[in-house]
Amino acid sequence: MIYADNAATTKTSPKAIEKMVEVMNNTFGNPSSLYGVGQKAKEELEKSREEVAKVIGANPKEIIFTSGGSEADNQAIISAARLGARKGKKHIISSAFEHHAVLHTLNKLQGEGFEITLLDVHENGLIVPEEVENAIREDTALVTIMFANNEIGTIQPIREIGAICRKKGVLFHTDAVQAIGHVHVNVKEDNIDMLSASSHKFHGPKGVGFLYVKKGIALTNIIEGGAQERGKRAGTENVPGIAGMTVALKEAIEHLDENYESVSAKRDKLIAGLKEIPHCAINGDEKKRLPGNVNFCFEGIEGESLLLLLDDKGIQASSGSACTSGSLDPSHVLLAIGRVHDVAHGSLRLTINEETTDAEIDEIIKSVKEVVEYLRSFSPIWRDLVAGKKEFIL
Ligand X SMILES: *Cc1c(COP(=O)(O)O)cnc(C)c1O
Catalytic residue among 165, 280, 297, 323: 323
Closer of 70 and 356 to ligand X (Cβ): 70
Closer of 175 and 299 to ligand X (Cβ): 175
Task: Mark out the alpha helices in 207-357 (DSSP H runs).
Answer: 239-254, 256-274, 303-312, 332-336, 341-345
Closer of 323 and 386 to ligand X (Cβ): 323
CB of 46 vs ligand X, minimal distance in Å: 22
Please indicate whether residue 323 is annotated as part of the active site. Answer: yes
Closer of 27 and 156 to ligand X (Cβ): 156
CB of 394 vs ligand X, minimal distance in Å: 26
CA distance 316 to 5: 6
CA distance 125 to 106: 21
CA distance 23 to 29: 9
Closer of 178 and 379 to ligand X (Cβ): 178
CB of 201 vs ligand X, minimal distance in Å: 6
CB of 317 vs ligand X, minimal distance in Å: 16
With contact defined as beta carbons under 8 Å apart, do 320 and 394 qualify? no
Closer of 101 and 294 to ligand X (Cβ): 101
CA 306 to chain centre: 23
**Residues near 54 by beta carbon (within 8 Å), at least 6 away in sequence:** none
DSSP string, 9-56: --PPPHHHHHHHHHHHHH--S-TT--SHHHHHHHHHHHHHHHHHHHHH
CA 203 to chain centre: 14
CB of 150 vs ligand X, minimal distance in Å: 4
CB of 209 vs ligand X, minimal distance in Å: 5
Q: Interface residues with ligand X (CB under 6 A)?
A: 68-70, 73, 99, 101, 146, 150, 175, 177-178, 198, 201, 209
Closer of 209 and 320 to ligand X (Cβ): 209
With contact defined as beta carbons under 8 Å apart, do 213 and 168 qualify? no
CA distance 371 to 96: 31
Q: What is the dihedral angle through the alpha carbons of 287, 183, 161, 324, rounded to the nearest 10 degrees?
A: 80
Residue 164's SS3 state is: helix
Closer of 70 and 144 to ligand X (Cβ): 70
Strand order in the sheet with 91-95: 63-66, 209-213, 194-198, 171-175, 140-144, 91-95, 115-119
CB of 363 vs ligand X, minimal distance in Å: 26
CB neighbourhood size of 44 (10 A): 23
CB of 104 vs ligand X, minimal distance in Å: 11
With contact defined as beta carbons under 8 Å apart, do 66 and 211 qualify? yes
CA distance 73 to 118: 16
Q: Is residue 1 packed enough to be buried (19+ CB in 10 Å), middle (13-18) or exposed (0-12)?
A: exposed
Q: Is residue 277 packed enough to be buried (19+ CB in 10 Å), middle (13-18) or exposed (0-12)?
A: middle
**Which residues are tagged catalytic?**
323
